[in-house]
A and B are shown apart, each in its own frame.
Chain A
Amino acid sequence: MEVTPIDTVATIEAPEHVRFDHRLAGPAQRGAAFLVDALIRVAVVLLLWRLIGTGLVGDDAPVGVLLVAAFLLEWGYFVAFEMLWSGRSPGKRVFGLRVVKQDGRPIGFVDSVLRNLLRAVDYLPAFYALGALASALDPQFRRLGDQAAGTLVVRVSRARSDDRVAVEPPPTAAELAALPPRPALSADELRALEDYLRRVGTLSPAREDELADLIAPALAARMGGLTYGSASRFLALLYHRATVG
């Protein structure tokens, strides 16, 4: 029976029918971000408390000021930051997370209000237990608020480095002359070779050769039966030829 392996990546089709892979943020990442946000809110309340103690805010209604501040922070903090910072609260920003619509578009005011209003339900019966359970059972890690608002939390992918991997030692003229001027490599193959070369050094030399041997013969055969000594070096040269020339 063929079963799709599980991952924490969701493929989202944008309204323009372009597909993007988004790394989903689950309870661990969101919990860490929430802790940062909670600390910030507690710090604000404590600061306000200190200010009241010094009389700067006024002596008449210190408890009232605190209660209003706590209320605003509880209900307005996430909505305000999600609107200001395009789906990111300070905690989410620290961990590179963002709330987006299920089709990948930025969230709107109503979405933000809805998902944050339902925090009260997700919190039940204590410590976000219901939200954590709903999130664990949902393939996209959505708590109840997200499910109602049609939103999800994703990890903002860092731009993939465009820096080419430098081949060490640099290819000699003789090595390059033995390869076709433009090796016929698909985008997938080129990306796989690049990822492989980035990991060279973290793998044992024997394992490097073992891995390279998995694909080098097929590529060599496709390019007219090229011969090579080290499979790992052959892949590095192919990559260099395809990207640098």
Chain B
Amino acid sequence: MRLEQATVVLRPRTMAEVLDLAVRWGGAVAVPLWWRLALWVLVPPLALVAWLYFGAGWSAQTTWVAAAALASAVQAPFVVAAARLLFEREVRVRAVLAATLARAPSFVPAFCLSALWMALGAVTLLLAPRTWAMAAFVHETSLLEGNGARRALTRSRRLGQRRVVQTLTMVLALVGVRVAAVVLADALAGGVLEHVLQVGRPFGDLWADGVSLSALAGLFVAVPFVTAARMLAYLDLRTRLDGWDLQLRFMALARAAR
């Protein structure tokens, strides 16, 4: 990793700045790769959950649980892609998928353990924010640092503990982004289908049926941004812990001083 090649300026940021940077960075750097990666990674699970609801007759609740689990799992290649895009100019889909597959043996147990951990937190409700914050960076600590399941969770907890409020803010904000994406996608599709094309709601209505194809699509469309925001938050934590910004400044000043 060559810090001087970073595609973002390395400096400590507030969480709100990190989220704003994710918008800017995504639009300027990542979108072309996201499109290509989405075809391989997001379309198949979306088709699967759509079939589970419309074809296999799953209930709305179980469909959403399956969709949430899949939408979290398919973040893996986007995390790898984001990490590469932060330090490389040319990133290929094939390389991203290969790197993700190579990490799968350690990532899958880490993902399952963190999902279990977060589900336990959700059940207890009161502990949800704490457990979610602890597991917030499991994707990164597993896929990018190559840790096993327990070590990835421990490392994620330690990272989160360094900035508890910021991490909690990020977790809640990213839940908000997913909810907004679901609601907005349903509203947009509903507006077009019902009011422009006047064909009703052939693919379900989020508010009437509990599920719609567009709402499910919204959940998956949010995946690239969610991973980018979390990746930049992880980068911010590492910048603070390892002084990456200071390193770059000192290197530049030392060059100039010679």
Contacts and interface: CB of A to CB of B under 8 A. Distances in A.
Interface of A: 1, 3, 5-9, 23-29, 32, 95, 125-127, 129, 135-137, 139, 141, 155, 188-189, 192, 195-196, 199, 202-203, 207-208, 211-212, 214-215, 217-219, 221-222
Shortest Cβ-Cβ A-B pairs, 4 listed: A26-B20, A28-B19, A7-B9, A218-B257
A6 B191 contact: no
Given A126-B191, A211-B247, A218-B254, A202 B23 contact: no
A106 B242 CA distance: 39
29 contacts: A1-B89, A5-B6, A5-B7, A5-B8, A6-B24, A8-B13, A26-B21, A26-B23, A26-B24, A28-B23, A126-B184, A127-B183, A136-B24, A139-B28, A192-B246, A192-B249, A192-B250, A195-B246, A196-B250, A202-B240, A202-B241, A212-B250, A214-B250, A214-B251, A215-B253, A215-B257, A218-B257, A218-B258, A222-B257
Contacts of B26: 136
Interface in B9-61: 9-11, 13, 16-17, 19-21, 23-29
B32 to A, nearest CB: 14
B164 interface: no
B247 A214 contact: yes
A135 B24 CA distance: 9
B204 interface: no
Contacts of B250: 192, 196, 211-212, 214-215
A32 B89 contact: no
Nearest to A191: B249
Given A5-B10, A6-B8, 8 more contacts: A6-B28, A26-B24, A28-B17, A155-B17, A199-B240, A203-B242, A214-B247, A218-B258
Interface string B211-251: 00000000000000000000000000000111100110111
A222 B254 CA distance: 10
Contacts of B25: 6
Given A1-B89, A5-B8, A199-B243, A28 B257 contact: no
A212 B253 CA distance: 12
B173 A196 contact: no
A211 B3 CA distance: 14
B187 interface: yes
A104 B184 CA distance: 34
Q: Is the interface of B mostly helix, strand, loop or mixed?
A: helix
Contact of A127 (B28, B89, B173, B180): B180
Nearest to A192: B249
A211 B21 CA distance: 26
A208 B10 CA distance: 17
B188 to A, nearest CB: 6
B228 to A, nearest CB: 12
B7 A3 contact: yes
B16 A95 contact: yes
Interface in B165-186: 173, 180, 183-184
Nearest to A129: B184
Contacts of A207: 242-243
A8 B21 contact: yes
A73 to B, nearest CB: 23
B7 A6 contact: yes
A24 B254 contact: no
Contacts of B19: 26-29
B188 A7 contact: no
A23 B11 CA distance: 13
